[in-house]
Amino acid sequence: MASRRKLPVFGPVYGGEDAGPRPSTRVEVAKALGRGVDPVTVVEHIGAAVDRVQADVLGAANGEPVPACAAGCCHCCHQRVEVTVPEIARLARHLRELPGLAIRVEKTARRTRGLASEAYRREQIPCAFLDSRGLCAVYEQRPLGCRRAHSTDRGACEAAHREPATAPEIPAAPSLSWNTSAVVVGMLEGMKHAGLAPDHYELHHALAIALEHEHELPLSALDPARTRTSTELTAILGQPSAPTRASRHRSTQ
C-alpha cells in the first residue's frame, strides 16, 4: 500500500488565542508564499483583508464605541511606524513613480535617525506621506499598522498630539483591535512558516534604503536595536480576548 504524502502543518507560532481570522490567514499566507507568490502581492491581499475585517466588525453593531477617525484627522501620523519587508517593497515600488514623495521620505529618514519610539512621539515629527490637508498620500498602500490604528475618542488624540510628553492612553474598540490584529499575527506566522523573516523596521529609514537599492534590500544597515522583532509585536497583538469574531478573508491567490 502506497504511503500517503504528509501535508504540512501550519500551526501557531506565537502566543495568544488562535481564533478568528488568524488561523486561516496563517495557512493561506504560508501556502501562497510556498507557491512562489510575490510577497508584495500577499501583503496587498492582507491589507484588503484588514479592511474587510474592519467592515465586518463595525457592521456587527455589537454596542462597542466606534472609531472617531475621519479624513484629515492626522494626530496619529506623528509617531514611529514599523513595517515588514513586503510592506517596504510595496511602498518602494509605488514611490519610484513619485520622486517628490521619495525625496520627502529621505529627508524624514535623516531627521528621525536614531530616534526610538518615545523620542519620536515627543518630537511629533509628521510622516513623510502626510500632505497639507492632513491626508495620506499613499493611503491605498499604507502600512498594516496604519490600517489597524484607530481611536474612539478624537479628543484623546488631539491631547496626545498637543502634549506628547503626557502620553495619554488612546481608547480603541476591543473587537476591532483584536480581529485586525489577528489578521496581522496570522500573516506574520504564515511568513515564518514560509521561511520569510517577519521582522519589522522603521518606515522612513527602511524605505530610504529600499529606494537607493532597487534590486536588493540591505536592511542590515539599520540599527537592530531599533527594530521590532516579530516576537515582541505578536506578544502585544496575540493576547487573548476576542469579543467578536470577524469573517474569514478571501484567499491570497
- pLDDT single digits (tens) 45-93: 999 999 999 999 888 877 888 899 999 999 999 989 999 999 999 999 9
CB 242 within 8 A of CB 182: yes
How confident is the model at residue 105, as a pLDDT?
Answer: 95
State how far the Cα of 96 lies from the Cα of 183, in Å rounded to an integer.
29
Identify the pLDDT of residue 239. Answer: 54
Predicted local distance difference test score (pLDDT) of residue 6? 47
pLDDT at position 249 is 41
More confident position, 107 or 234:
107
**Nine cell digits for residue 5:** 504524502
Angle at 29 between CA 25 and CA 30, to 5 degrees: 120
- Which range has highest mean pLDDT (64-78, 159-173, 214-228)? 64-78
Average pLDDT over residues 122-151: 94
244, pLDDT greater than 60: no
Cell of 241: 480576548
Task: For residue 245, name the pLDDT band (cuts at 50, 70, 90).
Answer: very low
* pLDDT classification of 166: cutoffs 50, 70, 90: confident
| Burial of 158 from C-beta contacts in 10 A (0-12 / 13-18 / 19+) | middle
C-alpha 7/C-alpha 23 separation (Å) is 16
Judge whether residue 238 has pLDDT over 60: no
Average pLDDT of the chain?
84
As a whole number of angstroms, the longest Cα–Cα distance in the chain is: 72
Q: Note the pTM of the prediction, 2 decimals.
A: 0.86
Mean pLDDT to the nearest integer, 27-56: 96
